[in-house]
Chains A and B, each alone.
Chain A
Amino acid sequence: MSFQEHEKLHIEKNVKRELTSTELQILAAEWSEHCSYKSSKMHLRMLPTTGPNVIVEKGYDSGVLDVGDGYVVTVHIESHNHPSAVEPFGGAATGVGGVIRDILSAGTRPIALFDGLRFGDIENDAHARWLFKNAVSGIADYGNCLGIPTIGGEVEFDTCYTNYALVDVAAVGFGKKSKLIKNHANIDDLVLLIGGSTGRDGVGGSQFASDALEGEDRSAVQIPDPFIEKLIIEAILECRDENCINAMKDLGGGGLSCAISETAESLGIGIELDVKNVHLRESDLSPDEIMISESQERMLVISSPDNLSKIEKICDKFRIQCSVIGKVKEDKMMHVKNGNDTLALLPADFVARGPLIDRPKSKPEYLSQLPSSLPSENQLPLSEILLKLLSSPNIASKHWVFRQYDHEVGIRTIIKPGFDASVLRLDNGKFLSAKIDGNPKHCYLDPRQGAIGCFEEACRNIVCQGTNPIGMVDHLQFGNPEDPEIFWTFMESLEGLAEYAKFLRIPCVGGKVSFYNETSSGPIKPTPLIGVLGISSTPFLSSHPNNGDYLIIIGNTCDELGGSEYFEYIEKFTGGICPVVDFKDSKSNMLAVLSLIKNKHVKSVHDCSKGGLSIALSELGIFGNIGCDIDIEKVPSKKKLGSDEILFSESHSRYLLVINKKNIDSAKKFLNRKKISFAILGKFSGDQINIRRKSKNLAKFKINLAQKRYFNGLGDLLKHG
Chain B
Amino acid sequence: MKVGVIVFPGSNCDRDMHHVLTDVFNLNAEFYWHEKNLPSDIDAVVLPGGFSYGDRLRAGVIAAHSPIISDVKKLSEKGIPILGVCNGFQILVESGLLPGVLLKNESLNFMCEWTNLIVNNNKTPFTNKLELNQKIPIPIANGEGRYFVDDETLSQLKKNNQIVFSYENKVNGSVSQIAGVCNSDGNVVGMMPHPERAAEKAINQIDHKPSSLIFESLVETVGMKN
A residues in contact (CB < 8 Å) with B = 137, 140-141, 144-147, 225-227, 230-231, 317-319, 402-414, 425, 539, 541
Contacts and interface: CB of A to CB of B under 8 A. Distances in A.
Closest 3 CB pairs of A and B: A147-B12, A227-B54, A145-B51
Nearest to B7: A234
Contacts of A413: 203
A411 B9 CA distance: 20
Contact of B20 (A231, A318, A411): A411
Nearest to B200: A411
Nearest to A400: B109
Contact of B112 (A230, A407, A411): A407
B20 A409 contact: no
B25 interface: no
Nearest to B20: A411
B100 to A, nearest CB: 23
Given A144-B51, A147-B13, A408 B205 contact: no
Given A145-B51, A230-B12, A414-B202, A405 B196 contact: no
Nearest to A317: B33
A230 B10 contact: yes
B203 A146 contact: no
22 contacts: A140-B110, A145-B55, A225-B54, A226-B51, A227-B9, A227-B10, A227-B53, A227-B56, A403-B111, A403-B112, A404-B112, A406-B112, A406-B141, A408-B141, A409-B13, A411-B19, A411-B203, A412-B203, A413-B203, A425-B203, A539-B202, A541-B205
Interface in B11-64: 12-13, 16, 19-20, 33, 35, 49-51, 53-56
Interface in B168-216: 194, 196-197, 200, 202-203, 205
Contacts of A541: 205
Contacts of B54: 145, 225-227, 230
Given A146-B12, A231-B9, A408 B55 contact: no
Interface string B78-96: 0000000000000000000
Interface of B: 9-10, 12-13, 16, 19-20, 33, 35, 49-51, 53-56, 109-113, 139, 141, 143, 194, 196-197, 200, 202-203, 205
B202 A425 contact: yes
Nearest to A318: B9
Contacts of B202: 414, 425, 539
A409 to B, nearest CB: 6
B9 A319 contact: yes
B12 to A, nearest CB: 2
Contacts of A408: 112, 139, 141, 194, 197, 203
A318 B54 CA distance: 13
Nearest to A319: B9
Contacts of B20: 411
Contacts of B196: 411
Contact of A411 (B56, B109, B110, B197): B197
A403 B55 CA distance: 19
A403 B113 contact: yes
A145 B86 CA distance: 13
Contacts of A145: 10, 12, 51, 54-55
Contacts of B13: 147, 409
Contacts of A146: 12
A137 B109 CA distance: 8
Given A145-B10, A147-B50, A231-B10, 19 more contacts: A137-B109, A140-B109, A145-B51, A145-B55, A147-B13, A226-B51, A226-B54, A227-B53, A227-B54, A230-B9, A230-B10, A318-B9, A405-B112, A406-B112, A406-B141, A408-B141, A411-B197, A412-B203, A541-B205
A146 B52 CA distance: 10
A408 B194 CA distance: 10
Contacts of A144: 51, 110, 141, 143
Contacts of A317: 33, 35
A58 to B, nearest CB: 31
Nearest to A541: B205
A403 B197 CA distance: 16
Contacts of A412: 203
A146 B51 CA distance: 8
Nearest to B54: A227
A311 B150 CA distance: 48
A238 to B, nearest CB: 11
Nearest to A233: B12
Most buried by A among B49, B53, B54, B200: B54
A319 B141 CA distance: 27
A343 to B, nearest CB: 35
A408 B202 CA distance: 12
A539 B51 CA distance: 31
Taking each of A319, A404, A409, which has the highest tally of chain B beta carbons within 10 Å of its own beta carbon?
A409
B113 A411 contact: no
Contacts of B9: 227, 230-231, 318-319
B35 to A, nearest CB: 8
Contacts of B56: 227
Contacts of A407: 112
A410 B9 CA distance: 17
A230 B20 CA distance: 22
A412 B203 CA distance: 7
Given A227-B53, A403-B111, A425-B202, A411 B12 contact: no
Nearest to A228: B54
Nearest to B196: A411
A660 B53 CA distance: 51
A404 B110 contact: yes
Contacts of A404: 109-112
Given A144-B110, A145-B10, A411 B16 contact: yes
Contacts of A318: 9
Contacts of A410: 16
A137 to B, nearest CB: 8
A230 B51 contact: yes
B212 to A, nearest CB: 14
Nearest to B11: A147
Contacts of A414: 202-203
B16 to A, nearest CB: 5
B90 to A, nearest CB: 14
Nearest to B113: A403
Q: Which of B33, B51, B139 has the most CB of A within 10 A?
A: B51
Given A145-B54, A425-B202, A409 B141 contact: yes
A226 B56 CA distance: 11
Nearest to B51: A145
Contacts of A147: 12-13, 50-51
A65 B55 CA distance: 35
